[in-house]
């Protein structure tokens, strides 16, 4: 199966910086949006100009930051540029991440008109106290409204929630997750709160002012998440991602099946195959420096060739996150490498790995020690 080709657009601006977030997001109050859009288009042109063969675009993903702060006209202009540079696959998935506070009915409808057919709403929590703790600029009522609107307006919708918050009980999370499932979105991304270095939460954590659930409690929360989503017909297809069959995020599947993707915008990264060579691209992270580079040089991207060994390992790391696992034949032919059969047998005997239909996949037990499983397979 070909992993396909996607385009990622990073919009780096947010209304406020959430205390847990280490994404490349920046608070800026006034800027000339058209200049930023022009920079993104130039960076996309620079990528396309290196590709002799321009593959069809199966997915476009506007991520952030907060792309729902973009004017619909800007989203439309980027989509037009993409369609000019690459052939668009029929029914290409066009996703935009939206924050509930920046969402209003008019803009949602305008995004839909501009060509967005999938929205990912950052609900994060469904009670006001936890939303305030997470530093969110919306309340639970707005989150519910945005979720309902997303399901109504877009053919496809996903909701993001963060769980395993300090003091969150299993019962509280079950109730909240049931409510999130009741909105009827085909897809949910459910992340355990992670303390990321350099964030305000990391400082509070280091000072003992913030504690996260211990391993046993986190495991119990993870388990009920799997149970409730499975019972609601949205089983996990990746560690944190749950969907109805056929409603998996095609964009993320491109990453996890180790396909190619162009990445434009501050801090965006990409993976592009040119002939037999595979390149990692990295855009300048700081927004103003990124803008200056796109205006002076056409693009801020640094291209670095990935060795075959590194690419093979990266493929393994990505694919083993998926419930479907990795196709053995595809991997071995692509990298001209053999997976270690003795280690595979040992991991299978220990119930860390399953082998079926030409795939290897981590079992639920294996997923808890995924780094070890990958290290043994990559040995």
64 binds ligand SAM (CB under 6 A): yes
Q: Do 181 and 234 meet the contact criterion of CB atoms below 8 Å apart? A: yes
182 binds ligand SAM (CB under 6 A): no
Contacts with ligand SAM by CB under 6 A: the residue count is 16
Selected range binding ligand SF4 among 17-25, 293-301, 322-330, 365-373, rule: CB under 6 A: 17-25
d(CA 269, CA 285): 10
125 binds ligand SAM (CB under 6 A): no
162 binds ligand SAM (CB under 6 A): yes
14 binds ligand SF4 (CB under 6 A): yes
120 binds ligand SF4 (CB under 6 A): no
If contact means CB under 5 to 8 A according to the sort of partner, which of ligand SAM, ligand SF4, none does residue 196 touch?
ligand SAM
Contacts with ligand SF4 by CB under 6 A: the residue count is 11
25 binds ligand SF4 (CB under 6 A): yes
Nearer to ligand SAM, 241 or 281 (CB): 241
Site for ligand SAM (CB under 6 A): which residue of 63, 76, 265, 270? 63
If contact means CB under 5 to 8 A according to the sort of partner, which of ligand SF4, ligand SAM, none does residue 339 touch?
none
Residue numbers at the binding site for ligand SF4 (CB under 6 A): 14, 17-18, 21, 23, 25, 64-66, 99, 122
Residue numbers at the binding site for ligand SAM (CB under 6 A): 20-21, 23, 63-64, 66, 97, 99, 122, 124, 160, 162, 191, 193-194, 196
């Amino acid at each position: 199966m070909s992993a396909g080709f996607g385009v990622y657009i990073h919009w780096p601006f947010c209304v406020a910086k959430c205390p847990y977030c280490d994404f490349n997001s920046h608070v800026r109050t006034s800027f000339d949006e058209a200049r930023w859009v022009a920079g993104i288009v130039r960076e996309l042109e620079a990528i396309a100009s290196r590709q002799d063969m321009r593959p069809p675009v199966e997915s476009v993903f506007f991520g952030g930051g907060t792309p729902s702060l973009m004017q619909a006209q800007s989203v439309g202009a980027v989509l037009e540029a993409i369609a000019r540079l690459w052939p668009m696959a029929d029914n290409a998935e066009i996703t935009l991440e939206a924050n509930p506070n920046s969402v209003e009915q008019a803009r949602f409808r305008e995004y839909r008109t501009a060509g967005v057919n999938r929205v990912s709403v950052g609900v994060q929590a469904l009670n006001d106290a936890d939303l305030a703790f997470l530093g969110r600029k919306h309340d639970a009522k707005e989150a519910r409204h945005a979720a309902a609107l997303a399901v109504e307006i877009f053919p496809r919708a996903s909701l993001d929630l963060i769980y395993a918050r300090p003091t969150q009980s299993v019962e509280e999370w079950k109730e909240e997750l049931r409510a999130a499932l009741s909105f009827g979105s085909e897809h949910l991304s459910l992340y355990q709160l992670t303390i990321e270095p350099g964030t305000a939460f990391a400082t509070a954590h280091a000072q003992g002012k913030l504690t996260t659930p211990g391993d046993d409690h986190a495991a119990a929360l993870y388990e009920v998440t799997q149970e409730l989503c499975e019972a609601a017909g949205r089983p996990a297809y990746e560690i944190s991602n749950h969907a109805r069959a056929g409603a998996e995020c095609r964009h993320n599947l491109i990453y996890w099946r180790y396909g190619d993707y162009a990445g434009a915008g501050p801090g965006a990264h990409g993976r592009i195959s040119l002939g037999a060579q595979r390149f990692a691209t990295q855009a300048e992270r700081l927004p103003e420096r990124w803008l200056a580079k796109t205006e002076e040089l056409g693009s801020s991207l640094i291209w670095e060739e990935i060795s075959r060994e590194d690419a093979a390992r990266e493929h393994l790391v990505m694919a083993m996150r998926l419930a479907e696992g990795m196709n053995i034949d595809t991997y071995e032919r692509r990298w001209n490498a053999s997976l270690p059969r003795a280690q595979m047998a040992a991991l299978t005997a220990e119930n860390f790995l399953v082998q079926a239909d030409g795939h290897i996949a981590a079992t639920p037990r294996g997923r808890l020690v995924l780094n070890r499983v990958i290290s043994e397979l990559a040995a």
